[in-house]
Every structure is written in C-alpha cells, then in structure tokens.
Chain A
C-alpha cells in the first residue's frame, strides 16, 4: 500500500495512505493512545470508530474538534492533540 507522511504533534510519521487520522495515530504509537482530555481531565480516545461518540476529536490543520475516525489522512496533514500528563 502507498504511504504518506503526516505530522502528529509536529513529528513526521509515515503511514498507509488509506488510514484514518485515528488509525494513523494508533499506527504511530503501535496502540490507541490518549488523544483528548475530558472536561474533568480524564484520558480519552476513539471509541465507536464511526463518528458517533466524538471521543476521538483532535485538531487537524489548525481546526479544533475534528473527528479522527472519520477523517482520511492526507500528505502533510498536521494533527495535534494534548499529550500532557498521559502516555
């Protein structure tokens, strides 16, 4: 499969071109990782995988609250989320 490069919290990662942003983040870390802190500061990440639960919201190309599970990766995409406090 073709690969492309995206930036996850400013680090370049090479991932499969058909990935979603959620898939790319998981691929970069070899597992699901915390991509959001809840309103009371709990670690959260993708749950439903299909655009329902909104737990996978990240910032994509400076737009906050984008669904990582519904957004396909694109070359040069800037994906950011808060990592503070959590692995």
Chain B
C-alpha cells in the first residue's frame, strides 16, 4: 500500500493548486484524476498564468500523479481503492482533499440522444481531444456562465456559432453582469468573450424544444418567448449549468446539500481529516477554486498567516459563487413527449417513468439509472423532472473491473 500525507482527488484548478502549495510546504502528495492529464474539465478552456504555472509545479518530486485513475471505494482506516487503466491500488492518506469538481446538468429534450448533441463543456472537451470543428454549424443552448467561454473557444477554433439560446431572462442576466462589474478581472474576461462573439445571435428567454435528425443532429427547434424557430446545424451543445460531484464525499459520510459538500470556512468537511475545495464546495468558478486550493494547503500545514490571507480571498470569490447560483437556476423544461428517452443507458422513456411513484420503483421495474453512468445523467434529470431523491452512495463509485474489487479481500478493516 502507498501512503501519503495528503491525497487530493481531482486535478482541476483547485486540486492542482492545492498539490503545488502542499508540496511547497514539504508534504508528500498524491493527486488523482480520471482524466489523462491535469487541468480539470469545466474551466479548462480558461487557461491563465496561474493555472499554467500550477501545472508546471506538478513535476515536484513530492507529488505523485495518478491520471486516468478512478476512485472506486472509500474504505475504513483512511484508505482509498483506486483503479488505473491496467492496475488497481490501495492508497492511504493522513489528510484527504476532495476537489472532485462538477459536471454538466444534462436534461432530456426530444432528440437529445442523437449523435451530434453534446454537453456544452462536453463539446469543448471533445474539440480539445481532436474532434474537428472548423466550419461546423453549432447551436449552444441551455443556461450557465459556461456558455460564454465555450462559445468563444469554439469560434476561435473555426466553428460557426449559429446562435446562443440562454434560458434565463434578460433582467436576470443584466443583474449578473452588473455584479461582475464589481470585479475588474471578471468584467475584463466577460468583455473579451463578448468581443470574440461579436455577430453571434444571442437570445435570452429561449430554450430548445426538439432536436431533429435520424442518425445525426441536423437541426434544432427553439422557443423564444412566443415564437419558435427552426435552425439548421451540425452540433447542438446543451447544458443547464453545473452540478457538483458529491459522491466521494457522500461515500465517506460527509454531510452535503444538493449543491455542495458542507464545510467550515476553513474547508473542513464533517468527517475528520477530510476537506473539500473548488466546485464540489458549490459552483464558484476558477479563481475561487484556485484560492481554495491554496487555503486548504495552509490549513493542513497549520500555516496561520497564509490561512488568514487565503481565507479572505476565498470569502471574496465565494460572493461571486452566490451570484452565479442566484442567476443560473435550473430551468423550466418544455413538457416532454412520452417517447423522449430519460435514462440513456437503459433507454427508459418519460412515458415509462412519469407515472412511477418513486425512484426506487422506476429502478426496479424499468431499470432507470441502472446502467453504467450509475444514474449520473438520469439521476439529476429525474430529480428535476419528477422530484425523485438521490440514493445512498455505494461502491463501486465508478464502474470498476472485477479484479479491482477483488483486491478488497486483502484490506485490513482497521488502521495498520
């Protein structure tokens, strides 16, 4: 078994900065991420100097990186079971930092299962991973602050952005803009996106009604106020803001709300030796994540002056988080047709679910949520559509090879 002073789950901005700050204080750190490289998912379009230098600092001999590595189970005696592409390991920690980030809320709409319909951050991630976008017609729809950087990114890479359809109302968006204006850095960033998107139709109070196509999306129908439009396009990027990844924290027994891991001001969860930072503590954006990465390192190393300094910074950044949460609330969905798929893994439709009394019955009778995404997509959707509650979290936290779980026969159930 490998043992570390601190294990950080998630190599996004929060986790990277925490790793760097902990290593600079002499801590042996393991940094775990299921992606092939550090940088995070949601905000990795936003490459600033701080993020780049943190990535460089990961080469410290005190930092062991585990990429393409999934946390499969949280175990007694401060152990984790993790799976790499070809192996599995038991890791032991003195302190655990959860920087598990967020994922996009993807909600069902007619045609959303067609190839060519992606998440908003999803499309950006695919383009970064080699998918050609030059000359492709893209409609971006949904809600959330992610729309802007992604639209700018795609356009810079040669996409033709047909339209941006934001579900929120204009006054609400204006209020958010005015809030941003209090932070010169943020305003500057927003202005730069706006400049990059000059000429792109932007519609507020708009949402997707249906996506058309047979084997690939070829168009999208949009409701804008009282009017409907049919737009031809190659890709539809859909997203309804972000939901934090809470499963690892819940598996450890940490208290959570539906939108965040519960922590003290100094990032301690309700379980000893376990901390939470970044989006998993509530969607707060890049700068907030970075500040919390530094703060958690100062807290763990009992560096009082650095703690005080970063704590203040975090408090400021969290005010933006509050504004984000107030602006980009979950949308009102257009009524779904009975044949619209809700659970994509098991092809369970709205018609099969709408009369089910609860999540458990839907799972048992229809297999809703029983597929490989483990309810990560349809769980959020059914919560939104039918008000069904989430389940208790059980291992494996992600699908895992049988051999990985078999490794558990050898663990000691108590501390060494």
Contact = CB atoms under 8 A, between A and B. Distances in A.
Interface of A: 15-16, 18-20, 22-24, 26-27, 30-34, 38-40, 42-55, 57, 65, 69-72, 86-87
Contacts, number: 136
Contacts of B346: 39
> Which of B125, B130, B234, B235 counts the most chain A CB atoms within 10 A?
B130
Contacts of B129: 18-20, 22-23, 49, 69
B113 A52 contact: no
Contact of A54 (B130, B234, B345): B345
Interface in B116-148: 116-119, 121-126, 128-132, 136
A47 to B, nearest CB: 5
20 contacts: A16-B130, A18-B130, A20-B126, A23-B129, A31-B132, A32-B126, A38-B344, A42-B113, A42-B341, A48-B119, A48-B122, A48-B125, A49-B118, A50-B35, A50-B121, A52-B103, A53-B377, A54-B372, A70-B68, A72-B68
Contact of A20 (B36, B115, B118, B124): B36
B41 interface: yes
B122 A50 contact: yes
Interface residue tally on B, bucketed by range: 35 or more
A39 B376 CA distance: 18
B347 A40 contact: yes
B126 A44 contact: no
Given A19-B130, A32-B131, A46-B126, 17 more contacts: A15-B130, A18-B130, A20-B126, A30-B132, A38-B113, A39-B346, A43-B114, A44-B344, A49-B123, A49-B124, A51-B34, A52-B376, A53-B377, A54-B371, A69-B125, A71-B68, A87-B215
A48 B104 contact: yes
Q: Is the interface of B mostly helix, strand, loop or mixed?
A: loop
